[in-house]
Structure 1
Amino acid sequence: MSDFAEVTDNMTGPVFINPDGPAGVAVSGYDAVSYFEGDGTPVKGSEEFGVTYNDVDYYFSSAENAAKFEAEPAAYAPQFGGHCAWAMSRGRLAPGDPVYYRVVDGKLYLNFNKQVQETWLKDIPGFIEKANAAWPSVPEDATFDNQ
């Protein structure tokens, strides 16, 4: 556990932690608030500006963004714990790549890669509906190997 500000709410489900990113950090270390600011281009966060949300660390590019996240984490955290939104529509966990994303109706969705995102973009509302239905049944301790 870090020395970051801690926020807890009733949001549940496994959070994707990229093994190639910072250890134990969500969104591969990208600033989750940056997707909603300016032109929406995601930027890398820094350990200097961290917040622990439901026992998972998130990094931010500024104290201001960290404070925004701390005040309302569910508004900024990626849907489905940062797992691929298209894969979740099929009831499966897959890594979400923070470079392949869309903000839809004020929510952040990540996709596995460009090819998967191109498929997801063909029916975003339908895939979101299916993913929302599948997400509650994913065990909190699910991994790519035991789902």
Structure 2
Amino acid sequence: MERDGTKALRKYVEVSFSNFNTDKMKLIEEIAEVISIWLDNESDAQTIAKGIKEREALSTTGFGNGFAIPHGKIEGLESPILAVFKLEKEVEWDSLDDEAITQLFIILVPVDEAQDTHLALLSTLSYHLMDEEVQRKINEITENEEMKRFIEMIFKKGR
């Protein structure tokens, strides 16, 4: 496995919706529904939402400047995924800087790959998302393919 987890990623998806709920827990449920559909119901929405909520209950995944990296260990998932949601409405996420979020980078990993893969993906992503220039670029991106290329570049750089 690559140190940064890149080879472990099976899917990458970006979507922007204006009609997601602005309540954190309801938003997690709505996003879990979307991800479940993307995965052709490989893992059901309730399982995905439960995994994200369990992790969120430990401590916030909102680290500041409008960004959060919710993540979870998901039963039934075949391989890790990264889903990016650019939200048009701000959502209160109990972030470390007490600011609302508009960018969600969701990492989901199979339970049996949780340790190494999960930590590698999270470490690489969080390292780059702390960079103000990376944050600025992500905030400016409006096209799905451009976001995919940018995320791929981040993971190729590693830490």
The TM-score, its normalising length taken from structure 1, stands at 0.30
The TM-score, its normalising length taken from structure 2, stands at 0.28
Higher relative contact order (CA 8 A, sep 6+): 2
